[in-house]
Amino acid sequence: MEIIKGVGIGDGLAKGKLIPLKKGTGGSHRLSLPDALEKAKALLDELYQNAKKTVGEEKAEIFSIRKMLLEDEDYLNRLDENVKKGLSPLMAVEEAGDHFFRFFSSLEDEYLSARAFDISELTTLLTGILKGEGFSFLTPTEDSILVMEELTAEQVFLLQDPKITGVISEKGNPNAHASILAAARSLPLLLLPEALSLNGLFGDAILDCEKGSLFLSPDEETLRAYEEKKAKRKIRKAVLQKLKGQADKTKDGVEIKVYANVNHPEEIDAVMENDAKGVGLFRSEFLLQNGVLPKEEEQFLIYRSMLEKMKDRLLIVRTMDFGADKCAPFPFPTEERNPALGLRGIRYSFTFPEILTTQLRALCRASVYGNLGIMFPMVSSKGELTEAKARLQDVQKTLRKENIPVKEHILTGVMIETPAAALISDVLARDADFFSIGTNDLTQYALAADRENPSLAPFITADHPAIMRLIALTAENARKAGIWAGICGELAKDLTLTESLIQMGIREFSLPPSMILPMRERIQNTISVPGKESYVSL
Ligand code: PEP
Ligand code: MG
């Protein structure tokens, strides 16, 4: 047995055969272009069938659309001409990809221009096959732990086969979206640089994310320890279930809002199942599917159904936070050297006002079906907040003129994700109903450390004093203005910090649904004021 240390995401536990998705494992010989096309079609069929089972026929359609594009006469002719001109299969695919990407991006029609994204995905798929990259991993026959170069946020949504028990990714960072989504979906994930070069990559393994350990060819004792840990988890889960229906109150009686982070509408079921008192962050940008945004009516139906499922519990929708490491609708207006410092969040929304207006209209229309809050991402000045709120008010006015009912007051919050926002939180607090501190970005910007860069993980301490001070300042300014401050970044999950954060004045935590009950338990054992045990029994 060999034990290898990596960075575990969440506290997942997995057992299975390691499946390396190594560059070069897709075929030891070079494929011809026609063979690569056939292979791509078979893969798209497989993806279609898998997606149909997991996310439904409508969303699965995208793979049949891609297959149609692959069979399109113009596309095939272009490839053919390229090969006749003497280009290698790889170059032929890249040139055709580039050509059709430009073509589709230039079209006015929204549906057709979104096909540019499909073309770029097809190019990646085909070049991957031609380079011999392993890709067909979606239907393992036994429990498997995938080892891959980089798990992307999009792949997390696709990895729904219960036989995929865990993932090891060479690249990644605990604050990157792929990690956040994996943790939210309880997919055990280990970040392990150069994992694909390990010896013993085809054997059995155990993954313990809590310890950040990978056990290769586990011995009897390790297997027994794994089974015991699993059994203990089951008992712990049963104990936590007893907290359902209870209040989120500290020992000295201070009510804390324990809300859930949601990345996909279907996760509302887990929110209710875990008795979260609300949703503190719905990352609505993940409604973008394959480069296409749902229209106003579709968005309205999604928000309405989420609100209805949540009964009267608060649902805070963050307006779409496009840009930086997250996909954005095509075409993105500029090539950016520093996307994290670029056109993202509210800046993107102001640049493409029609996207913001469509979303706000859908949200306002849905507001009468439940308890809705709206918050804006990446705000860094008072002017941006004023402008965002003005857009919201305009939409409300227009809807009323159209005789469409809208909730009288929709809670409006600001995400505190930039040091600038934290530093002017006294000013922002005057115009906000609440603050939600996005510590993932706040940490990135305060420590000048790219959250996506795998080599920076050792340099990022979540509870760095600078971050703690920015949080304390924000909480204090919120308290003075009579509004609440919460945390929706990954820092909220660290239960060793909960008491200090509450004592700083944090009054809301938004976490993955699986963390709701552990947080409730933690809060119930917390005192809200430093050194004032006497407040107990208030
Ligand atoms: C954050 O930045 O902490 C946050 C919650 O937003 P996201 O992770 O989606 O950027
Ligand atoms: Mg953020």
pLDDT tens-place string over residues 15-64: 999 988 865 444 434 678 998 899 889 888 887 887 777 667 887 788 88
For residue 331, the CA-to-ligand 1 centroid distance in Å is 23
What single letter denotes the amino acid at residue 466? Answer: A
More confidently predicted of 275 and 24: 275
Q: What are the residue ranges of CATH 3.20.20.60 in the chain?
A: 255-537
CA-CA distance, 536 to 283, in Å (whole number)?
A: 37
C-alpha distance across the termini of the chain, in Å? 55
Which atom of ligand 1 is closest in space to residue 180's alpha carbon? 8
Q: Which residues form the pocket of ligand 1, taking CB atoms under 6 Å from any ligand atom?
A: 180, 281, 283, 321, 417, 438-441, 488-489
Looking at the CA of 378, name the nearest ligand: 2
State how far the Cα of 8 lies from the Cα of 179, in Å rounded to an integer: 10
CATH 3.50.30.10 range(s) for the chain read: 2-18+135-220
The total of other beta-carbon atoms located within 10 Å of residue 335's CB is 7
| CATH code for the structural domain at 2-18+135-220 | 3.50.30.10
Q: If you average pLDDT over residues 503-528, what whole number do you get?
A: 97
- Find where tokens 């889960």 sit: 237
Contact in structure between 339 and 325 (CB atoms under 8 Å):
yes
From the alpha carbon of 285, which atom of ligand 1 is closest? 9
Domain with CATH 1.10.274.10 in the chain: 33-131
According to DSSP, the residues that pair with 510 across neighbouring strands are: 259
Residue 514, SS3 per DSSP: helix
Which CATH superfamily is 255-537 part of? Answer: Phosphoenolpyruvate-binding domains (3.20.20.60)
CA of 187 to the centre of ligand 2 (A): 21
Contacts with 15 (C-beta within 8 Å, 6 or more apart), sequence order: 143, 145, 165, 204, 205, 206, 207, 226
Annotated catalytic residue within 209, 327, 364, 488? 488
- Taking the model in full, what pTM does it have? 0.78
d(CA 114, CA 331): 8
- Domain 33-131: give its CATH code: 1.10.274.10
Q: What is the pLDDT of residues 393-416, one digit of tens each?
A: 999 999 999 999 999 999 999 999
Angle (deg, nearest 10), helices 89-105 and 115-130 = 170
Amino acid 30: pLDDT: 61
Residue pair 380/418 in contact by the 8 Å Cβ criterion = yes
Annotation marks residue 264 as catalytic: no
SS3 for 28-51 is CCCCCHHHHHHHHHHHHHHHHHHH
Confidence of residue 125 (pLDDT cuts 50, 70, 90): confident
Residue 481 pLDDT level (bands cut at 50, 70, 90): very high
The gap from C-alpha 131 to its chain's centroid, in whole angstroms, comes to 29
Angle at 175 between CA 173 and CA 179, to 5 degrees: 70
For atom 4 of ligand 1, which residue has the closest CA?
438
- pLDDT for res 330: 64
Give the integer Cα–Cα distance in Å for 128 and 123: 8
